Amino acid sequence: MTTIKLYNTLTRQTDNFEPINKGLVKIYTCGPTVYDYLHIGNWYTYIRKDILIRLLQSQDFKIQWIINITDVGHLTDDQDDGEDKLQKKATATRQTAWQIADFYTQNFLELWQTLNLTQPTKFVKATDHISDQIELITQIESKGYSYVINDGVYFDTSLFQDYAKFSQLDLDEQQTSQRINHNPDKKNLADFALWKFSPKDKKRDMEWPSPWGIGFPGWHIECSAMSMKYLGPTFDIHTGGIDHIPVHHTNEIAQSMAVTNQPLANYWIHSNHVTVNGQKISKSLGNGLRLEDIIKQGFTYQDIRLHVLESHYRSQSKFSLDNLTNSHNRFLSWQEKIVLLYQNNQLNSTLPTVNFNQPKEEIINYLADDLNTPMVLKTIDQLFNQINYTNFKPSELKDFVVFLDQILGFQLSSIDDISHKNKDLIIQRSDYKKQSNWAEADKIRQHLLSQKIGLKDEPDQSYWYYL
């Protein structure tokens, strides 16, 4: 078994990964807030988590993976001011928050399949776990960490000694920095809502009774309640984007530890942001393309996956359609070698054949080294560059393709052969060429081109590939 090393935000270093229970990994991923379509930046984050899961599976770990769906309580300002994002969208579009949640959750789950992302053990919705959240707030209250003001129940961050430690926050600086729109009754600026009261003059679509009054949960309590319910008070890995470090994850840690007095998770893995034109992609800025729009432009989910893996998850990556076109071409160059499996290759038994075992080992080692996906792709390029019509054993190439599918989720093994009819045309074209009938030979080439099939003429035969 290979040692997996992961950069851990908790320790600010790359740690060797060791799960709490031998052979089992419990992992929680902060999922989307379903008030809009996900943008390509959101999908980067989930593709990256998928690779981590695939790596763990390759090392024979059993996985318990929980992903939440935030369908209530995420306010327009992460620090618990402003409006509920779903309720705001509902009002603007004259629908209910329930309709908004259903629609975008459905879209998210469908696209999860489109991208061939690993199915988690469970997707959990915040609105299905209100009683668990109320129960957790009650425990926080009984430990003396909460207080009630006019608009909700808040967590007193000054009572949790290590509050600033996780994100290395400068609380004094935060306290003195100019902020508008925060509730002046909060004891400390960093205090956050555990439960918010419904406005007195308006009925919200989503609201529930609680010991403190009718209202709805805060975004952070949802993740604490659901992660601990399914994975226990301390689990192995908690993941999210870097935007979660200063507020959302800091608050999750504070309120969970206030109750359990033990770490919430041992490894915290955060992916960096994706930018477009130098700006972070964000739903509120509306500057991110949707997956469906990218696919409509002729790209496949494999192009997108490959593009995501071209940058390291901790570096800031730039999204552009030009970059995606390069990924598309890279993927085609891999396919060109894989479809040799369907062709009559001339293995030259006097020359050494391509060795697939060493690259396999290298790929696992690069992934185990804090998910170094750019180096994984480079290794694959180098291997495919070595392959030609005479130097590989088909069973070994097939086996390697299955390995790549498992580890990177490309579904390369489902690339189809061309039809018998097209194969016959290629033979016919060779005959035309032998007869120097260039016009007929060219007609066949054009016909195949129109079906996105290209031809490479070698002395002994013509080889086809997809364009």
Residue 27 CB, nearest distance to Zn ion (Å)? 13
Tokens for 72, please give them. 């209530």
Q: Report the residue number, 58 or 256, with the smaller CB distance to Zn ion.
A: 256
Q: Report the residue number, 283 or 433, with the smaller CB distance to ligand AMP.
A: 283
Residue where the block lists tokens 């992660």:
227
Residue 281 CB, nearest distance to ligand AMP (Å)? 4
**Is residue 124 involved in binding Zn ion (CB under 5 A)?**
no
Q: Report the residue number, 282 or 326, with the smaller CB distance to ligand AMP.
A: 282
Residue 273 CB, nearest distance to ligand AMP (Å)? 4
The one segment of 22-30, 38-46, 398-406, 447-455 that binds Zn ion by CB under 5 A: 22-30
Q: Report the residue number, 41 or 359, with the smaller CB distance to ligand AMP.
A: 41
Q: Give phi and psi for 26, each to the nearest 5.
A: -105, 125
Q: Report the residue number, 42 or 343, with the smaller CB distance to ligand AMP.
A: 42
Tokens for 354, please give them. 């391509």
By a kind-dependent CB cut-off of 5 to 8 A, residue 407 interacts, out of ligand AMP, Zn ion, none, with: none
Residue 144 CB, nearest distance to ligand AMP (Å)? 31
Residue type, 404: L
By a kind-dependent CB cut-off of 5 to 8 A, residue 226 interacts, out of Zn ion, ligand AMP, none, with: none
Secondary structure (3-state) at 73: coil
Q: Report the residue number, 38 or 194, with the smaller CB distance to ligand AMP.
A: 38
Residue 278 CB, nearest distance to ligand AMP (Å)? 12
Rounded Cα distance between 105 and 89, Å, is 14
How is 208-268 classified by DSSP, letter by letter?
Answer: B--TT-SEEE-HHHHHHHHHHHHH-SSEEEEEEEGGGIIIIIHHHHHHHHHHHSS-SEEEE
Binding site for ligand AMP (CB under 6 A): 30, 32-33, 41-42, 44-45, 240-241, 243-244, 273-274, 280-283
Name the residue number minimizing CB distance to ligand AMP. 241
Rounded Cα distance between 143 and 202, Å, is 32
**Is residue 30 involved in binding Zn ion (CB under 5 A)?**
yes
By a kind-dependent CB cut-off of 5 to 8 A, residue 45 interacts, out of Zn ion, ligand AMP, none, with: ligand AMP
Residues in contact with 175: Cβ distance below 8 Å, sequence separation at least 6, in sequence order: 188, 189
Secondary structure (3-state) at 155: strand
Q: Give phi and psi for 75, each to the nearest 5.
A: -90, 165
By a kind-dependent CB cut-off of 5 to 8 A, residue 223 interacts, out of Zn ion, ligand AMP, none, with: Zn ion
Residue 76 CB, nearest distance to ligand AMP (Å)? 11
Residue 224 CB, nearest distance to Zn ion (Å)? 8
Instruction: Say if CB 253 and CB 166 are below 8 A apart.
Output: yes
If binding means CB under 5 A, how many residues of this protein chain bind Zn ion?
2
Instruction: Say if CB 97 and CB 83 are below 8 A apart.
Output: no
Q: Report the residue number, 41 or 246, with the smaller CB distance to ligand AMP.
A: 41
Instruction: Say if CB 199 and CB 165 are below 8 A apart.
Output: no
Q: Report the residue number, 42 or 157, with the smaller CB distance to ligand AMP.
A: 42
**Is residue 47 involved in binding Zn ion (CB under 5 A)?**
no
Rounded Cα distance between 3 and 63, Å, is 17
Query: In the stretch 215-234, what mask flags binding to Zn ion with x, by CB under 5 A?
Result: --------x-----------
Q: Report the residue number, 206 or 354, with the smaller CB distance to ligand AMP.
A: 206
Tokens for 59, please give them. 């090392």
By a kind-dependent CB cut-off of 5 to 8 A, residue 75 interacts, out of ligand AMP, Zn ion, none, with: none
Q: At what angle do helices 394-408 and 373-386 cross, to 10 degrees?
A: 160
How is 401-419 classified by DSSP, letter by letter?
Answer: HHHHHHHH---GGGPPPPP
Residue 218 CB, nearest distance to Zn ion (Å)? 11
Residue 29 CB, nearest distance to ligand AMP (Å)? 8
Q: Report the residue number, 75 or 223, with the smaller CB distance to Zn ion.
A: 223
Q: How many CA atoms lie within 13 A of 444 on its CB side?
A: 20
Rounded Cα distance between 71 and 246, Å, is 22
By a kind-dependent CB cut-off of 5 to 8 A, residue 282 interacts, out of Zn ion, ligand AMP, none, with: ligand AMP
Bridge pairing between strands 453-457 and 462-466 = antiparallel
Instruction: Say if CB 260 and CB 254 are below 8 A apart.
Output: no
Q: Which residues bind Zn ion (CB under 5 A)?
A: 30, 223
